């Protein structure tokens, strides 16, 4: 059976054996792992993981790929879910106290909302090894003060340890995308997540702060916070959003959430 990549699903199938081996080595699957792959496509990575771990699930939106996967992995313990990853309850797959290890070549057109969906379920995820547009990975791992540091950087780093592993050129895929990709490792940290009192408030703060990057925080956040609160938290009200640390944003969001509860 063959399958032509579909643009509407953002399909770019990985075919480079060397890159596939580097990804599998980075994941380092172990027999007691429970691995979940998002968008297995034609199974290029799946076939290297399915026999290495005890339990494996794949989430595939394209129903025409399901028979191909069923045929290819007949006789294995692979469980195939024909579902939309943006709506899927990943925590429902957890067996006992074991956390999930997520793997995926995330479609560029939904990568950011999908990451936020996964972060909402970070409490049941041990780690993620995902392939994204290199530009997105650069934004996620960016440090305060850089031009690429923004809402996505803070939202992810407030919950996870982040690491860009290596870059992948367009020729590793069929069809080749027009941009470079990169492998990102995310490790959710329970202590970091516990420090966020109100995730919705943190998102409001980040949306306001980075929605008007050229403005000072005093002006960008004037609908949410008074300057004295910024000063009390040792945040420079005349600074711009990209200079403020992840920790400072979490502290600010927590203070505002406290105020909202008291009012």
pLDDT at 263: 73
Longest CA–CA span in the chain (Å) reads 65
pLDDT at 1: 44
Q: Which of 163, 191, 219 is the last residue before a domain boundary?
A: 191
Gap between the Cα atoms of 189 and 250, Å rounded: 15
DSSP-derived pairing of the beta strands 125-133 and 181-188:
antiparallel
pLDDT at 5: 44
Helix (H) or strand (E) holding 218: helix 217-220
pLDDT at 6: 44
Same domain, 168 and 52: yes
Gap between the Cα atoms of 51 and 42, Å rounded: 16
pLDDT at 36: 97
Q: Which domain holds residue 226?
A: 199-262
DSSP-derived pairing of the beta strands 55-59 and 34-38:
parallel
SS3 content of the chain, % helix, strand, coil (to 5): 40, 20, 40
Same domain, 123 and 150: yes
Same domain, 175 and 204: no
pLDDT at 14: 85
Q: Which of 167, 191, 215 is the last residue before a domain boundary?
A: 191
pLDDT at 9: 43
pLDDT at 94: 94
Same domain, 119 and 155: yes
Same domain, 181 and 207: no
* Total domains in the fold of the chain: 2
Same domain, 211 and 150: no
Name 181's bridge partners.
133, 168
Q: Residue 213: which CATH number?
A: 1.10.8.100
**Predicted structure pTM score:** 0.90
* Alpha-carbon Rg for the chain in angstroms: 20
Please report whether residue 1 resides in a domain.
no
Backbone angles phi, psi at 29, to 5 degrees: -65, 140
Cβ neighbours for 142, distance < 8 A, ≥ 6 positions apart: 148, 149, 150, 153
Q: Which of 191, 224, 246 is the last residue before a domain boundary?
A: 191
Cβ neighbours for 228, distance < 8 A, ≥ 6 positions apart: none
Same domain, 117 and 39: yes
Classify residue 240 by its DSSP letter.
B
Q: Residue 134: which CATH number?
A: 3.40.50.150
Same domain, 103 and 59: yes
pLDDT along the chain (263 residues), means of 10: 45 83 96 94 92 91 91 93 96 91 88 91 95 95 96 96 96 86 96 95 96 90 91 94 97 94 82
């Amino acid at each position: 059976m063959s399958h032509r990549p579909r643009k509407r699903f953002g399909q770019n199938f990985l075919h480079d054996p060397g890159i596939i081996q580097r990804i599998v080595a980075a994941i380092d699957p172990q027999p007691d792992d429970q691995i979940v792959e998002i968008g297995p496509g034609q199974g290029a990575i799946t076939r290297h993981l399915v026999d290495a771990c005890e339990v494996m699930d794949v989430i595939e939106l394209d129903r025409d790929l399901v028979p191909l996967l069923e045929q290819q992995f007949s006789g294995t313990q692979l469980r195939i879910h024909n579902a939309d990853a943006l709506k899927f309850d990943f925590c429902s797959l957890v067996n006992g106290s074991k956390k999930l290890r997520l793997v995926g070549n995330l479609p560029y057109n939904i990568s950011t909302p999908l990451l936020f969906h996964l972060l909402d379920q970070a409490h049941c995820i041990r780690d993620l090894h995902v392939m994204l547009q290199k530009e997105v990975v650069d934004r996620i791992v960016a440090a305060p003060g850089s031009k690429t540091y923004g809402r996505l950087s803070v939202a992810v780093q407030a919950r996870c340890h982040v690491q860009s592993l290596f870059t992948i050129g367009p020729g590793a895929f069929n069809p080749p995308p027009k941009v470079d990709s990169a492998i990102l490792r995310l490790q959710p940290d329970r202590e970091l997540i516990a420090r966020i009192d109100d995730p919705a408030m943190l998102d409001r703060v980040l949306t306001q702060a980075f929605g008007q990057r050229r403005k000072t925080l005093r002006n960008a956040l004037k609908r949410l916070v008074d300057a004295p609160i910024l000063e009390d938290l040792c945040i420079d009200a005349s600074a711009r959003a990209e200079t403020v640390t992840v920790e400072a944003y979490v502290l600010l969001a927590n203070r505002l959430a406290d105020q909202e509860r008291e009012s």
